Structure 1
Amino acid sequence: MKAARFHARRDVRVEDIPTPTDQPAPRQVLVKNRFCGICGTDLHEYAAGPIFIPTQPHPYTGAKAPQILGHEYGGTVVAVGSSVTNVAVGDRVSVQPMVSPRDDYFGQRGLYQLSESLAIIGLAWPWGGMAEYSLVNDYNVFRVPDSVSDAQAALIEPTAVTVYAAERGGVKPGDSVLVTGAGPIGQLQVLAARAAGATRIFLSDTNDNRLAMARQILPDVITLNPRSDKVPEAIRDQTEGGVGVDVALECVGAEAALGTCIEAVRRQGVVVQVGLHVGKPAVDGFTVTFKDIDVRGSWCYTTLMWPRVAALIGSGILPAEKVVTRRIRLDEVVENGFEALLSPAGTELKILIDLQ
């Protein structure tokens, strides 16, 4: 089968490799992959990796580079192990990519995403979504309802990130929200905030192309560019009492954006750090204390969110498919996938790989 494998920084190759076994282990499932999204994490691995991809065998999964990429994907079940009961051959599924022990401290509490042994399919597992087939555990697959298309099934994973972040921020009906960063996660975060009931949503980014895309996705979003706008002041001017937003969600992973969130949130508001920082940002501790605000991390999602997020997407309440700007073939993944997303023009958001 064909698979896109990471070998080193800026070295992703589409190669022919053996297809996974059609006789899965008792608790494993063989999936014929359908669509796979290119995530910002994949992009960071391509441009500056290895970061999460191990160069020595992962202590829990044994995986290491070269690594099949892709953790935002879905497909159709083509074979199941003898002990699998949650899916059957022919089911359309979305993949929840976290792999971790079921019996360690966090696993026993259902907090699998917090396990110190955590691995992620497409980053530290022998298989991934950027291939024709993948072999995964039974707990990694969720059957999707008829209301969810094959393309939408590949969008459940990134959407779950933003639904969880909105929950971490306590976004509720009538709230005002700031999202910093108009990349794919930022755009989905805007939609997740609206689905949670936020009525006034601000989006800040330095790329006017992406801000224009955001206005097409959600026409009443208020877009701001910190290169030309004084973002905290503009937000205070447009919020009740001039106090700032109730919740700010930082989806860039940049020190300046985090600072903007702390400035723009109201007293006793909540700042949620969604984007991953590559360094250690300075945080204005005085303002955090003086304004009596909460600063919270948001790591991925809980692994049990898939049915709920699928329902949000399938019902149209959270139209995640609006962030897709291009579909490509696997053979195009470098030139028309990674390189297109790295373009400073910012004319692409979410690119899906069509594996059929």
Structure 2
Amino acid sequence: MRALRFHAARDLRLEDLPEPKHPGPGQVLVRNRFVGICGTDLHEYSYGPIFIPTDPHPFTGAYGPQVLGHEFGGVVEAIGEGVTSVVVGDRVSIQPLVMPRSSDYFADRGLFHLSPELALVGLSWDGGGMAEAAVVNEYNVQKIPDDMTDEEAALVEPTAVAVYACDRGGVTAGNSVLVTGAGPIGMLTLLAARAAGAAQLFVSDLNDARFELAKSVLPDVATINPKRDSVGDVVRSLTEGHVGCDVAIECVGNEHALKACVDAVRKQGVVVQTGLHPRENPLDWFQVTFRDLEIKGSWAYPAHYWPRVIRLIASGLLPATRIVTKRITLDTAVTEGFDVLLDPAGAHLKILIDLSK
């Protein structure tokens, strides 16, 4: 089968690998359909290995070279002994977290995403979505409804990140919400906030080209370029009482964006950090205390979110496919996908790889 494997920074290779073996007990063989290129994949390509182990992973034993891709879905082709939740022919979305299911402090509490032994399909597992097929655990597959498309199945994973960020912020009906970063996660977070009932939305980004895309997805979103305007000043000028927004969600992993969130949120507001920061970030902690703010991290998502996020997308309440700007094939994934998304002036958001072509 064809697969795109990471060997080193700037070294992705389209290779012909053996077809996966018949799934073992509790496992499922999936014929992959669509896979998204995630920001994590871009970081691995640019600077890796970061999450890809160079020594055997303590739980899965996986290490590079690694087939990339953790945002994907497909069709069940075979099931192993004991599998009952899906049958051959079912269309599924992949929940890529791999971790102990018991005898782990966090696993015993259903907080699988916080396990210290966490691995991910497509980063620290024998296989990934950027291949024609993959073997995963039964708990990694979730059947999708008939009225959900294969493209939407591949968008459940990044949408789950966005929904969890909004949950961490307590976004509710009528709220005003700022999102920093108009990339794929930022745009999905805006859509998730709207689905949760947010009435007033703001987005900041340094790339003006993304504002046109943002307006096409959510025409009423207020756009702010920090190179020209103070994010906090704009948000305060447009919110009730000029006090700032209720919730600010940082989706860049940039110290200036986080500081803008702290500045823009009202007293007793909530700041959620979703983007991964590459280094320490000093904040004005006097303002955090004086203004009675809450600052929360938001790491990945609880594994049990999959049915809920599938319902949100399939119902149309969260139209995730609006962020898809390009569809490519596996043989052009590097030049037409990774390299295009790394262009700082680029106009693309989410690029999907069609594995059937």
Do the two structures share a fold, i.e. TM-score over 0.5?
A: yes
Deviations 1:37-87 (A, max 9, x none): 000000000011110000111011011110000000000000001100111
Residue correspondence of structure 1 range 146-295 to structure 2 within 5 A: 146-295=146-295
SS in 1 for 2:303: coil
Q: CA deviation at 1:345?
A: 1.4
Higher alpha-carbon deviation: 337-346 or 30-39 = 337-346
Residue correspondence of structure 1 range 314-353 to structure 2 within 5 A: 314-353=314-353
Take 1:147 and 1:293, find their aligned partners in 2: how far apart are those partners?
A: 42
SS in 1 for 2:266: strand
Take 1:138 and 1:43, find their aligned partners in 2: how far apart are those partners?
A: 28
Take 1:344 and 1:102, find their aligned partners in 2: how far apart are those partners?
A: 40
Residues 1:102 and 2:101 are matched in the alignment:
yes
Deviations 1:77-101 (A, max 9, x none): 0000110011110000000000000
Q: AA paired with 2:330?
A: L
SS in 1 for 2:304: coil
Residues 1:24 and 2:23 are matched in the alignment:
yes
Take 2:66 and 2:284, find their aligned partners in 1: how far apart are those partners?
A: 39
Q: Pairwise CA RMSD of aligned residues?
A: 0.6
Q: CA deviation at 1:147?
A: 2.1
Runs of 4+ off more than 6 Å: none
Take 2:205 and 2:180, find their aligned partners in 1: how far apart are those partners?
A: 6
Q: CA deviation at 1:7?
A: 0.2
Q: AA paired with 1:125?
A: W
Take 1:209 and 1:341, find their aligned partners in 2: how far apart are those partners?
A: 13
Partner of 2:63: 64
Partner of 2:72: 73
Take 1:228 and 1:126, find their aligned partners in 2: how far apart are those partners?
A: 46
Partner of 2:296: 296
Take 2:235 and 2:76, find their aligned partners in 1: how far apart are those partners?
A: 48
Take 2:207 and 2:345, find their aligned partners in 1: how far apart are those partners?
A: 8
SS in 1 for 2:40: helix
Q: AA paired with 2:192?
A: A
Q: AA paired with 1:45?
A: E
Q: AA paired with 2:106?
A: F
Deviations 1:167-193 (A, max 9, x none): 000000000000000110001111011
SS in 2 for 1:32: strand
Q: CA deviation at 1:148?
A: 1.1
Take 2:148 and 2:281, find their aligned partners in 1: how far apart are those partners?
A: 39
Q: AA paired with 1:96?
A: Q
Partner of 1:91: 90
Partner of 2:46: 47
Structure 2 alignment gaps of length 5 or more: none
Take 1:165 and 1:222, find their aligned partners in 2: how far apart are those partners?
A: 20
SS in 2 for 1:157: helix
Take 2:78 and 2:50, find their aligned partners in 1: how far apart are those partners?
A: 32
Take 1:147 and 1:44, find their aligned partners in 2: how far apart are those partners?
A: 34
SS in 2 for 1:304: helix
Q: AA paired with 1:336?
A: E
SS in 1 for 2:4: strand
TM-score by length of 1: 0.99
Q: CA deviation at 1:283?
A: 1.6
SS in 2 for 1:267: strand
Take 2:236 and 2:23, find their aligned partners in 1: how far apart are those partners?
A: 57
Q: AA paired with 1:80?
A: I
Q: CA deviation at 1:284?
A: 1.4
Q: CA deviation at 1:24?
A: 1.1
Partner of 2:307: 307
Structure 1 alignment gaps of length 5 or more: none
Take 2:233 and 2:81, find their aligned partners in 1: how far apart are those partners?
A: 61
Residues 1:111 and 2:111 are matched in the alignment:
yes
Take 2:194 and 2:35, find their aligned partners in 1: how far apart are those partners?
A: 25
Q: CA deviation at 1:346?
A: 2.2
Take 2:147 and 2:279, find their aligned partners in 1: how far apart are those partners?
A: 41
TM-score by length of 2: 0.99
Q: AA paired with 1:235?
A: V
